């Protein structure tokens, strides 16, 4: 980001789509914007700036959550600039955008976040805004595209026997690659992956009793499933 004496434009957000309404609505839980496609009352949502140069007055407070997107649903949100800077402005992603979305210039003083999300996303979308003099500022805002839920199987595990080999395989739905996390394995057993989408618990149990453990899996879209188990060793 380039330091400069002049403030770039203040940035407010309004949706082009009538179904989205303006992004400043508090229609979602905890004051968040409502999900894409739900009606909202008129309003504005600012984009926070990570630049050392302050933007003109922006209300509500920077860092507001934008309306949620949905996988496979068209998403269009237009950002209009006002005050400060020298138009025309150009716009470019500062970092990788959510899959399926793009920054599109509407004119020299506005741009849109538009497209059809193809994967889940929960994080920051950053845009570089450059005025006619070459002064550049980064604008950050938050977006959630909920990932589809995933499941973990089996829901329970069969009993085992002391000093006899034991193996059980856990599998999941969702989008690979997967990240598996577990609690401690029962005595004599260990967790290990046999493929990109499965997890094994195997070994030779060396104690009798009931042993509890937990398995958690997270897929590439950020969806998580957790299951607790009790393994009885006779």
DSSP reduced 3-state for 31: helix
**Which has the closest alpha carbon to 6: 110, 139, 140, 133?**
133
- Could you give the C-alpha distances from 70 to 73, 104, 225, in angstroms and in order? 5, 19, 20
Tokens of 20: 């989205």
Separation CA 148–CA 108 (nearest Å): 37
pLDDT at 194: 67
Q: Average pLDDT for consecutive 10-residue bins of the chain (234 residues)?
A: 40 42 38 36 38 34 74 89 78 91 87 91 87 83 90 96 96 90 95 85 96 94 92 97
Domain ranges within the chain, ordered by starting residue: 10-145, 152-233
Residue 221 has what DSSP assignment?
T
- Asked, colleague to colleague, whether 10-145 and 152-233 share their fold, the answer is yes
Query: Which top CATH class is 10-145?
Result: mainly beta
Residue 177 has what DSSP assignment?
S
Angle at 176 between CA 140 and CA 68, to 5 degrees: 35
Question: In this structure, which topology does domain 152-233 adopt according to CATH?
Answer: Immunoglobulin-like (2.60.40)
pLDDT at 63: 62
pLDDT at 119: 86
């Amino acid at each position: 980001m380039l330091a400069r004496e002049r403030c770039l434009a203040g940035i407010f957000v309004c949706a082009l789509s009538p179904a989205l309404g303006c992004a400043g609505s508090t229609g979602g839980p905890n004051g968040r914007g409502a999900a894409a496609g739900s009606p909202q009352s008129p309003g504005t949502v600012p984009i926070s700036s990570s630049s050392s140069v302050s933007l003109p007055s922006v209300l509500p407070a920077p860092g507001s959550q934008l309306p949620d997107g949905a996988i496979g649903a068209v998403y269009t949100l237009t950002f209009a600039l006002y005050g400060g800077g020298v138009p025309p402005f150009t716009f470019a992603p500062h970092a990788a955008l959510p899959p399926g979305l793009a920054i599109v210039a509407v004119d020299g003083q506005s741009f849109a976040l538009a497209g059809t999300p193809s994967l889940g996303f929960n994080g920051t979308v950053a845009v570089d805004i450059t005025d006619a003099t070459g002064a550049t500022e980064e604008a950050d805002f938050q977006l959630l595209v909920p990932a589809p839920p995933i499941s973990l199987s089996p829901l329970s595990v069969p009993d085992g026997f002391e000093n006899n080999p034991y193996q059980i395989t856990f599998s999941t739905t969702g989008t690979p690659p997967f990240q598996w996390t577990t609690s401690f394995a029962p005595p004599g057993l260990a967790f290990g992956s046999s493929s990109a989408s499965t997890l094994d618990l195997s070994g030779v149990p060396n104690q009798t009793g009931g042993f509890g453990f937990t398995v958690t899996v997270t897929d590439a879209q950020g969806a998580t499933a957790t299951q607790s188990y009790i393994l009885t060793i006779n």
